[in-house]
Amino acid sequence: IRNCDWSSDVCSSDLTNYSYYLGRKDSVFVTKAGVFQVQYGEPSDNPTKPVPIDDALELMTVELPAYLLHTNQAKIEFLNNKR
C-alpha cells in the first residue's frame, strides 16, 4: 500500500504481513515389527506425499485441507496392498 501526498513528492510505503493455514498430506505405515508410524508431510499450498519409510508397508494417505474444522473434512485413502 502506498500513501502519497500529491501536494508534495513524498510517498510512504506501509508493509502488511499476513499468515494463513496450509494443507498437508500424511502417510501411515506399519513396520516389519508391527509398529504403526505416521510420516508427516510438509504444509504447502500444493501438498505432496511425504518420503516413504524404508522397510515399512504404507497403509493409507491422509489429506488435511487448510482450515480443517471437522474431522470428516480429512480425506483418507486406503491403499490396496493385496498380493
Predicted confidence band of residue 18 (pLDDT cuts 50, 70, 90): confident
Mean pLDDT of 49-63: 95
Is the confidence at residue 6, as pLDDT, over 70?
no
What torsion do the CA atoms of 22, 72, 69, 57 make, to the nearest 10 degrees? -40
Closest CA relative to residue 56, chosen from 82, 27, 80, 78 = 27
What is the rounded CA–CA span in Å between residue 83 and residue 76? 22
Is the confidence at residue 10, as pLDDT, over 60?
no
What is the model's pTM? Answer: 0.74
pLDDT at 1: 47
Q: What is the DSSP letter of 70?
A: S
Is the confidence at residue 45, as pLDDT, over 50?
yes
Is the confidence at residue 15, as pLDDT, over 60?
yes
Q: What is the DSSP letter of 33?
A: T
Is the confidence at residue 37, as pLDDT, over 90?
yes
